[in-house]
Structure 1
Amino acid sequence: MATEDTPVMAETTLPVRTKQPKQQLSKGMEHMRCYVAVDDSRKAATSPSAGEDAYGVPATYEPVRKPTTAPSEDNPQKRSDPFQFGTRYLEEGDDIFAHNAWDHVEVDAQYSEFIEQQTIFQRENQVNDFDKKRFNENPEKWWDKFYSNNQANFFKDRKWLVQEFPVLGEVTKEGYGPVTVLEVGAGAGNTAFPVLAMNGNTELKLHACDYSKKAVDIIRAQPAYIDQTKAVLQADVWDAAGEDLPPGLEPGSVDVILMIFIFSALSPGQWTQAVRNIHTLLKPGGEVLFRDYGRGDLAQVRFKKGRYLDENFYVRGDGTRVYFFEEQELRDIWSGKLSDRTLDAAGEEAPAFEIVDLAVDRRMLVNRQRKLKMYRCWMQGHFRKPLQSSIDASAKGPAGAMEEQGSTVK
């Protein structure tokens, strides 16, 4: 019981912790602030004055392809049902934060100039000779380290596969019949497992191969791999640019090959052998479904000093390598016309594929909370191994269905 002589403790009030807003940009992107951060003083729903660029959309902006959705006034959501990528066009007066992505958005003049400045800066501050040798001699070491650090948590499962590559929906249908699908550069299984999950074809054989042993170990450790009632999915280590074929696959035994963000991990000197291996594995009329990084993608522009290995070829902070392609460059590679790399060490010509379709996929992604716009650029292709005259059309496998359906790439 307190008395008059008992000191009274002053009442203390704990400081109120205010929630800090999320950092708008990481340190790695701070140099891009004026090119990716949207100025709040310019209201997105207000059309810019004549001749003025707004939010990455030039005042004279014209869509690369004609919209396939209903006119904006009749379709304010700018979507088809079900929603399809490639159908959401940004027009003057639109609020860019109404959606998280817009299709076929060309970069504005200011950003285009920034790309040129960044390219010059990157060339002038490239990787030293010692590190170039270190990163190029044992690339598998860096991928093993990457998957050891990230396990299966880095990439999200690719739920857009059938939407972008309808043939995968065909070959996994119940009753389709015998078909062999190979994924090159399978990583931790973010493509293989979604295909396995939707498969209803009891005669599907799905091979998932990766350069990294650690990545393959991750696939094999997943419950979906261990609990297969039938061995539909087989995961193996394979060097796509090596001299051997994947375990369990013979020349001319594969119907469809998936190459999603894997070709960019090869050095330019490995392209011809990799294409040769793909050509050897495919049946006549077999398909290659391709997606990778395009020139000028945010991932390329954001690189700072000490990342440039060679023209359009970089090393990330984790030691893995990445190349950024142009459309014509890919056409030349897959058609066998890349003049300075068409002959291998034995003097053999590079194999030629039919270019069924190849397109640039440009998107502007936006972050509403942080008020950011990000230009992405990907290459999407569909290549076919030519049919030989002695091969009956019935040997096409899924290629026959592809010819009837038309292009899988919008």
Structure 2
Amino acid sequence: MAVDNIDPAGAEATLPVRRKQPKQQLSNGMEHMRNYVTVSEATPPPPSQITAGEDAYGVPATYEPVRKPATTDATENNPHKRSDPFQFGTRYLEEGDDIFAHNAWDHVEVDPQYADFIEQQTSFQRENQVNDFDKKRFNTQPEKWWDKFYSNNQANFFKDRKWLVQECPVLGEVTREDYGDVTVLEVGAGAGNTAFPILAMNRNEELKLHACDYSKKAIDVIRAQEAYQMQEPKVLQADVWDVASDELSPGLVAGSVDIVLLIFIFSALSPDQWQQAVRNVFTLLKPGGEVFFRDYGRGDLAQVRFKKGRYLEENFYVRGDGTRVYFFEEQELRDIWTGKPPSGPIDAQGNCGDDAYRLAFEILDLAVDRRMLVNRQRKLKMYRCWMQGLFRKPAERGKSRNQV
């Protein structure tokens, strides 16, 4: 008989109690980021000792965000410090606040030191860019890299966008039971993380929802979902379409769409594709139709953390999986979506026959969404930056007005 569990006195020994190990602060693959994203209780090194380079992969913890003067107190009835507890975007980081009191802070401005860090890191990336052979490889048929992405991840990578109605209230209106005939087009639908939430909340029998992506595999993933196959009546139609192609989306004609959704899709296009993409969106929209836009902003963590061999061209990168991403700034988007007023003849749909002109949308809203996300348990902080806009196709020529 084995005696490994018997004590010297002959009594059965008690097995040792295994203590629960504390959760690892950083994974082994992220250990090189420690000096850049962790907040230490010890006195941090001066910023001069943190240099941009291969290891400058995240957010320097020594760079404190700019805090606003204290104006709102956290109370028992309003612990989140919101002017409206049910509305995002109003949790401001103020003087005296504990950074780790909440998981996220809204409208957090980075300080000049961190802005300098972004410039240093961008210079490093620019000096260590993708070689010419790989640039051609990644820029040729970019959809094949997304096919590979969705083959590997199916519908499991992205979360459903439950914030859609909050950020784009018109979606709440057009899905009401009594709204009537309306057509919504989502460009870059991926695995359906926008389309399916809209479908689930829809009560409008006259809604037509088109979801398009230039990845055939992504559309296969959407079509394979039970929610897609069991539609009755059929509201959602998913098709393969490249928004920067010379053809319009399957099942749609010029001037037939009320709302276009562009959510983290424009950044996947190369800059030389933007004008054709805008042209196609403009052509598909009815006069007065609107575009809801959300994408990456300049200086976002996703841009700052790129290391060697990811820089394709200015603000345009390739990820480790071969997919591409661009980071925008506000004025750049204004230039892309407003352009010059049409100079050629206008057809019945409000489209211009002069190929030389740039399409002019009204900008109803365009702003930078800055946020600081934190991991309270692991004492990490991350600066995020997104661009969000609402654009409208003019109802009549000559009445376009850039309102903001």
The TM-score range, normalised by the shorter chain, is 0.7 to 0.9
Three-state SS of the structure 2 residue aligned to 1:234 is strand
Q: Does 1:231 align with 2:234?
A: yes
Amino acid at match of 2:390: H
Q: Does 1:130 align with 2:138?
A: no
Instruction: Quote the Cα distance in structure 2 between the aligned partners of 1:307 and 1:54.
Output: 26
**Cα offsets for 1:148-207 (capped at 9, x unmatched):** 000000000000000000000011011100000000000000000000000011100000
Distance 1:129 1:28, change over 3 A: farther
Tell me how far 1:76 sits from its aligned partner.
3.7
1:385 to 387, 393, 398: 393
% identical equivalent positions: 77
Tell me how far 1:333 sits from its aligned partner.
0.3
8 Å contact 1:32–1:302 — kept in the other structure? Answer: no
User: Unpaired segments of 5 or more residues in structure 2?
Assistant: 8-12, 44-60, 342-353
8 Å contact 2:211–2:238 — kept in the other structure? Answer: yes
Write the mapping of 1:157-176 to structure 2, written as runs, cut at 5 A.
Answer: 157-176=160-179
Distance 1:264 1:329, change over 3 A: same
Q: Which residue of 2 aligns with 1:50?
A: none
8 Å contact 1:35–1:111 — kept in the other structure? Answer: no
Q: Which residue of 1 aligns with 2:267?
A: 264
**Cα offsets for 1:323-375 (capped at 9, x unmatched):** 0000000000000259xxxxxxx952121101111000000000011100100
2:362 to 345, 354, 359: 354
Three-state SS of the structure 1 residue aligned to 2:239 is strand
Three-state SS of the structure 1 residue aligned to 2:178 is coil
Amino acid at match of 2:159: K
Q: Which residue of 1 aligns with 2:246?
A: 243
Q: Which residue of 1 aligns with 2:303?
A: 300
Amino acid at match of 1:363: R
Instruction: Quote the Cα distance in structure 2 between the aligned partners of 1:21 and 1:124.
Output: 40
Amino acid at match of 1:366: V
2:218 to 215, 219, 240: 215
Amino acid at match of 2:216: K
Q: Does 1:311 align with 2:314?
A: yes
Amino acid at match of 1:333: I
Write the mapping of 1:9-408 to structure 2, written as runs, cut at 5 A.
Answer: 11=6, 17-26=18-27, 29-41=30-42, 56-58=64-66, 61-62=67-68, 72=74, 75-81=78-84, 83-336=86-339, 348-388=356-396
8 Å contact 2:39–2:62 — kept in the other structure? Answer: no
Distance 1:243 1:39, change over 3 A: same
Three-state SS of the structure 2 residue aligned to 1:219 is helix
Three-state SS of the structure 1 residue aligned to 2:122 is helix
Distance 1:373 1:388, change over 3 A: same
Q: Which residue of 1 aligns with 2:51?
A: none
Q: Which residue of 2 aligns with 1:398?
A: none
Amino acid at match of 1:253: S
Instruction: Quote the Cα distance in structure 2 between the aligned partners of 1:173 and 1:355.
Output: 26
Three-state SS of the structure 2 residue aligned to 1:383 is strand
**Cα offsets for 1:120-175 (capped at 9, x unmatched):** 11011110111000000110110000000000000000000000000000110111
Distance 1:8 1:153, change over 3 A: closer
Instruction: Quote the Cα distance in structure 1 between the aligned partners of 2:90 and 2:129.
Output: 39
8 Å contact 2:288–2:395 — kept in the other structure? Answer: yes
Instruction: Quote the Cα distance in structure 2 between the aligned partners of 1:115 and 1:32.
Output: 15
So what's the TM-score if we normalise by structure 1? 0.83
Instruction: Quote the Cα distance in structure 1 between the aligned partners of 2:381 and 2:202.
Output: 37
**Cα offsets for 1:92-138 (capped at 9, x unmatched):** 11122221110010112332222111111101111011100000011
Three-state SS of the structure 2 residue aligned to 1:306 is coil
**Cα offsets for 1:11-60 (capped at 9, x unmatched):** 49877655444443346654543332112247xxxxxxxxxx987323xx
So what's the TM-score if we normalise by structure 2? 0.84
Tell me how far 1:217 sits from its aligned partner.
0.4
Superposition CA RMSD, Å: 2.9
Q: Which residue of 2 aligns with 1:343?
A: none
